[in-house]
Amino acid sequence: MTKITNLSWLLILVTTFLHTQVSCQTIEMPCENAVWVKRYKKLIPKGICIPNDCQIDYIDEDFLPDFNKDGLTDFVFKWSKIKLKDGDTSYVSVYIHNKDSTYTLLKTYSNLYPIYFFDYSLEYKIPNQKLKALQKKYQGENLLHNLSFEDNLVKITTLAEAKAEFVFTYQYDDSIKNWVYMKCDFYDYANGKNTYTPQDFTEKLGNTTLDKFTYFLFE
């Protein structure tokens, strides 16, 4: 009886371990690099891994950044579950290019893209009612308008109001291996103005790092 009980616990532990390995919550083994667009395959450096139930769904093909200004092109990409469902997270992983041509994972961010919803409209009836409160926080909109890694800067453009956007800029700090809040501009393109106005978010954002960025700044 004891042997059977021990065997049962072993099976439970193995099953739990395998589930953890293929979860989209981690970038650990098993090593996969499934892609949403076939041409991305040619852009992925050797050794880049994502879980086997996920896919790389965006690589900026036009801009290859150099985060730490060492003259080597680093690598950044967005990835998520292959079949997204309401409430799922999209990730951004950043790899540093080493002098020996290998790549080292710097950080994986889970907060740079809004939580996925099939439709952000408040008219959309979410099957999982537990997500209703989160959906409302997005004000019926996908608040992200653009995310770009430009050399040592990260710029996040979000909806501010009708025909207006916030552009949050973070600057890479090699001493902490992260990006630190630098500034925010209010971009007004109503009536053809197209003007930037600096915003003082020092009290709210101060020297916060990129992993502290939130779409719900004004809660």
Q: Kind and range of the H or E element at 199? A: strand 195-199
24 vs 164: which has the higher pLDDT: 164
Binned at pLDDT 50, 70 and 90, residue 32 comes out as: low
- As a whole number, mean pLDDT of residues 164-185 equals 95
Q: What is the per-residue pLDDT for 97?
A: 94
Q: What is the pLDDT of residue 98?
A: 94
How far is the C-alpha of 51 from the C-alpha of 97, rounded, in Å? 21
Q: Where are the domains of the chain?
A: 1-118, 143-219
pLDDT at 141: 93
**Exposure string (b/e) for 25-36, b if CB count within 10 Å is 16 or more?**
eebeeeeebbbe
CB 157 within 8 A of CB 147: yes
Does pLDDT of 158 surpass 90?
A: yes
Which residues, in sequence order, are bridge partners of residue 50?
A: 32
Q: Which residues pair with 130 in a beta bridge?
A: none
Average pLDDT over residues 81-92: 95
Alpha carbon separation from 152 to 67, 111, 134, 209 (Å, rounded): 4, 19, 32, 14
Query: Percentage of the chain surpassing pLDDT 70?
Result: 84
State pLDDT tens for residues 95-150: 999 999 999 999 999 999 999 999 999 999 998 889 999 999 998 999 999 999 99
Predicted local distance difference test score (pLDDT) of residue 24: 52
Q: Which of 47, 71, 57 is nearest to 24 (CA)?
A: 57
Q: Kindly tell me if the per-residue pLDDT of 50 is higher than 60.
A: yes
pLDDT of residue 161: 86
